[in-house]
Amino acid sequence: MGLDHTLAMLSSGYGVAYLDIDYYPRKGTSTFHPIKDTYAYLTLVIRTITWFNPLKVFIPTALVIFLIGVGKFAFDNYEHFWRMTPATVMLFLVAVQIAMLGLLADLIVKRR
């Protein structure tokens, strides 16, 4: 079972048992490339989580953007006294859109 299967099982709420296995020492050199392989690994993790439980990706992302918008709104109030700039409105709208996209993706996943 590869990493994608393990993440799929964990995301679906199944238990995963880890078994010790015997292995032989590596022959030759490593083919690991830190930048390329880390990007591929993170992409695989995000795709797998999005495939099985999209709210774990979209809701935290929306929450972070919303909190940035709250901080920007507080700064705008301090600087301009109750005047909301277009950038602040955009942050709030993007947060709502990402949250709605996550809910839509979750509905699609639950329908299968």
Instruction: Say which residues have a Cβ less than 8 Å from residue 103's Cβ, sequence separation at least 6.
Output: 55, 58
Domain ranges of the chain: 1-16+31-52, 54-112
d(CA 84, CA 101): 25
- Residue 30 confidence (pLDDT): 80
Q: Note the pTM of the prediction, 2 decimals.
A: 0.65
- Residue from 71, 48, 72, 62 nearest 93 by CA: 62
- Residue 2 confidence (pLDDT): 59
Question: How does pLDDT run across 33-54, given as a tens digit for each residue?
Answer: 888 888 888 888 888 888 888 9
d(CA 77, CA 17): 52
Question: How does pLDDT run across 48-80, given as a tens digit for each residue?
Answer: 888 888 998 899 999 999 999 999 999 988 888
